[in-house]
Structure 1
Amino acid sequence: MYNILLVEDEPSVLKNLKMKIESSGVHSFQIIETAYTAEEAWKKLKSLSVDVVISDIRMPGLGGLWLFEQVRCSFPDMICIALSAYCEFEYLQQCIRIGIEDYFLKPVSLEQVKEKLLSL
């Protein structure tokens, strides 16, 4: 079983993504927690058993790239998937440098989510 932490500052996007994962039919994944900021997610990661972090990149505060850097330093085997509403090459470059497993542009489709989860 893979435990997922979803991080997204927009409540409607978070709810939609959570619904897509839960209805994907991939039963080996469960969302154990959500967070609205990178800082909140980082605090939760320290006390939870998480296998996958799916996070927005641009959020108020430190943002998803900061979160991914912290994860890579402290939990190098954790799977990281980036979400962004912006198709900016700089973000993609930073994700590659950090070692993110995938980068999705929002809105993310159910098929994208299912395909990625099945490939892990």
Structure 2
Amino acid sequence: ADQGPLNVCVQVNLSAEESKSGTTSSAASELCQQIAELPNLTLRGLMAIPAATDDEAAQHRAFSVLAHLFQSLQTSHPDMDTLSMGMSNDYAAAIAEGSTMIRLGTALFGPRQS
């Protein structure tokens, strides 16, 4: 059955952590352009999981970087509407910096079972 194009967000590795996936901020524009040209994908936005920290100022700085990248990419991709950043421990900073989607697994379901 035809389900139409798949909605996708580009993951940006803000802190260049080897434990995290995603493109670099500098390569995000080219990747977004390539995705936009594919008929079976719809570029919806950006997502990121920054380095874990309890330092609220550092959280705001990381989310601000992604928010500015998102805004600059919207110039060439005006249909991008999703800025997915923020998890259970940093969602307040993410919302303050413009997140449109947060992920609250631990806050809702508790810590992962090992």
Give the TM-score, by structure 2 length. Answer: 0.49
The structure with the greater share of residues assigned to helix is 1
TM-score normalised to the size of structure 1? 0.47
Higher relative contact order (CA 8 A, sep 6+): 1
